C-alpha cells in the first residue's frame, strides 16, 4: 500500500467504527457452536413460516407475536430472531407436537432468526398440537423436517444454547446501536469497548468458548483503539475523573498532527513552498508544548475546571458543546477538543442521505442536471 493511502486511512479510519463492530458480530457468528445454534433457529422459523398450515396453527397460539426472519441488509437480526423465539416458546412446542413435517432445511446464520426462536412458548404449544402430527404424516415430503423441528422446540439443550448465544450477541448489538447514530459520540467508543469486554468476561462459558469469544472482542477493540478514539476519550469531560494516563501518547500524536496541519497552512509548507523549514518545525514544537500544558491544566481540574457546576454539565451536554462553553481558559486546547469531539463514530448518516437521494437521482433518472437534482 502506498504512503498516500496509509495517510488517508489514518485520517478517515475512525469513521469505520460501526462497520468494524458489524464485522465483530459476523466474526462471532462464524464460531462453529454459535453458527450451529443460529442455523437450527433459522430452520425452525423458516419451516413454520414457509407453510400455510403451520403458520396458521402457530398463530392460534402465538397471537400477535410473529416469528422474525433474519435480514441481509440490517445488523442484529439474528438476535431479534432468537429473542422472539424465546417469547413464543410455548406456542412453538404445541405446534411441534402436532406438525412434525414441515421445516425448511436451509440454514441461516442471521442474528434475527436466533432471536425469533428464543421467544417460543407459543412455538412449543404449536409442535405438541395433535394437528401438527396429523399434517406432518399426511405430507411425507416434510415429515422428517417436521420431526426435527419438533425435537428442537421441545429440547432443553436447544433453548439453552439459544439463550447463551443471545447473551453473547446482545452486548455487541447494543454497541452497534450506540455507534450507528449521527450524534457526535466519537469520544464514547473507547469506553464502550472496555465495557463490552467486561460484559463478555462475566459470561458463564467454558474455558475454550470464553477464550474464542474474548479473543474476537479484544481483536476488534484493539482495531478501534486508534489514536483518534483514544484522544477523544481523553478530551471528553465526562471521563475527567477516569485514569487516562494511557491516553497521553495518543493525544500527543493527534495534537502534533493537527498542529502540523495548521502551522504548515500558515507557512505554506504544505504546498512545498516553505522558505523557512527550521522555523516551521520549531513553531510546531512550541504549539504542541503549549497545547499539552493547557491539557495538564484541564486534566488536573485547575481554574474553571474545578467548579462543580462546570463538571456537572459534562453529563448533560455534548462534549464539543461543553468545550465551546467552558474551554475559554485554554483556547488552543479548546480549538482541538471541539474539532475532535464534534466527529461522529460512523458514516451512517451519510449512508442515510445517499439512500434518500437515490429516490431523486438514480440509474433510471440519470438525465437530471446537477442543479435540478440538488433542488429536488
- The rounded distance, in Å, linking the Cα atoms of 291 and 63 is 62
Three-state secondary structure call for residue 119:
strand
Closest-CA residue to 49 (of 126, 147, 121): 126
Check residue 322 and give its pLDDT. 92
Three-state secondary structure call for residue 16:
strand
Composition of the chain by helix, strand, coil, percent to 5: 75, 0, 25
pLDDT digits (tens, 9 = 90+) for 80-106: 888 888 777 766 655 555 544 333 333
Cell of 366: 440519470
| Beta partners for residue 16, in sequence order | 346
Check residue 6 and give its pLDDT. 34
Closest-CA residue to 62 (of 128, 119, 21): 119
Q: Is 218 within 8 Å of 327 (Cβ atoms)? A: no
From the CB of residue 319, how many other CB atoms can be counted at a distance below 10 Å?
24
- Angle between helix 17-29 and 156-179 (nearest 10): 170
Q: Is 344 within 8 Å of 318 (Cβ atoms)? A: no
DSSP string, 340-357: HHT--SBSHHHHHHHHHH
Check residue 64 and give its pLDDT. 65
The residue whose grid cell reads 452486548 is 171
Q: Is 48 within 8 Å of 93 (Cβ atoms)? A: no
DSSP class of residue 289? H
Residue-by-residue pLDDT tens, the chain, 376 positions: 343 433 433 444 444 444 444 445 567 778 888 888 888 888 888 888 888 888 888 887 766 678 887 766 566 678 788 888 877 776 665 555 554 433 333 333 344 444 444 444 567 777 777 888 888 888 877 888 888 888 888 888 888 888 888 888 888 888 888 887 778 888 888 888 888 888 888 888 888 888 888 888 888 777 767 788 888 888 989 888 887 777 888 888 888 888 776 655 554 554 445 544 555 567 778 888 888 899 888 988 888 888 888 888 888 889 999 999 998 889 999 999 999 998 887 777 777 777 777 777 777 767 777 777 777 6
Amino acid at each position: 500500500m502506498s504512503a498516500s493511502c496509509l495517510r488517508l486511512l489514518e485520517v478517515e479510519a475512525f469513521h469505520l467504527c460501526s462497520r468494524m463492530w458489524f464485522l465483530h458480530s459476523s466474526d462471532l457468528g462464524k464460531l462453529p457452536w454459535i453458527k450451529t445454534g443460529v442455523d437450527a433457529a433459522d430452520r425452525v422459523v423458516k419451516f413454520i413460516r414457509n407453510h400455510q398450515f403451520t403458520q396458521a396453527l402457530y398463530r392460534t397460539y402465538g397471537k400477535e407475536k410473529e416469528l422474525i426472519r433474519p435480514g441481509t441488509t440490517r445488523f442484529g437480526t439474528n438476535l431479534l430472531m432468537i429473542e422472539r423465539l424465546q417469547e413464543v416458546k410455548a406456542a412453538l412446542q404445541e405446534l411441534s407436537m402436532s406438525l412434525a413435517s414441515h421445516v425448511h432445511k436451509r440454514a441461516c446464520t442471521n442474528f434475527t432468526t436466533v432471536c425469533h426462536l428464543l421467544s417460543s412458548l407459543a412455538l412449543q404449544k404449536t409442535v405438541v398440537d395433535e394437528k401438527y402430527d396429523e399434517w406432518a404424516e399426511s405430507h411425507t415430503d416434510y415429515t422428517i423436517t417436521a420431526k426435527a423441528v419438533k425435537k428442537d422446540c421441545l429440547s432443553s439443550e436447544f433453548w439453552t444454547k439459544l439463550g447463551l448465544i443471545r447473551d453473547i450477541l446482545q452486548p455487541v448489538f447494543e454497541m452497534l446501536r450506540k455507534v450507528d447514530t449521527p450524534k457526535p459520540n466519537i469520544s464514547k467508543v473507547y469506553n464502550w469497548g472496555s465495557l463490552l469486554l467486561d460484559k463478555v468476561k462475566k459470561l458463564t462459558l467454558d474455558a475454550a468458548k470464553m477464550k474464542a469469544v474474548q479473543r474476537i472482542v479484544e481483536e476488534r477493540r484493539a482495531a478501534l483503539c486508534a489514536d483518534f478514539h483514544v484522544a477523544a476519550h481523553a478530551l471528553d469531560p465526562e471521563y475527567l475523573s477516569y485514569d487516562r494516563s494511557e491516553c497521553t501518547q495518543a493525544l500527543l500524536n493527534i495534537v502534533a498532527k493537527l498542529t502540523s496541519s495548521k502551522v504548515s497552512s500558515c507557512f505554506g509548507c504544505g504546498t512545498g513552498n516553505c522558505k523557512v523549514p527550521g522555523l516551521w518545525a520549531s513553531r510546531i514544537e512550541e504549539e504542541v508544548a503549549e497545547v499539552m500544558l493547557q491539557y495538564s491544566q484541564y486534566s488536573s481540574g485547575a481554574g474553571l475546571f474545578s467548579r462543580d457546576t462546570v463538571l456537572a454539565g459534562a453529563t448533560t451536554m455534548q462534549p464539543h458543546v461543553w468545550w465551546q462553553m467552558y474551554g475559554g481558559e485554554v483556547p488552543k486546547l479548546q480549538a482541538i477538543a471541539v474539532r475532535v469531539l464534534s466527529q461522529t463514530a460512523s458514516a451512517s448518516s451519510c449512508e442515510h442521505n445517499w439512500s434518500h437521494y437515490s429516490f431523486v437521482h438514480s440509474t433510471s433518472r440519470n438525465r437530471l442536471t446537477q442543479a435540478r437534482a440538488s433542488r429536488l
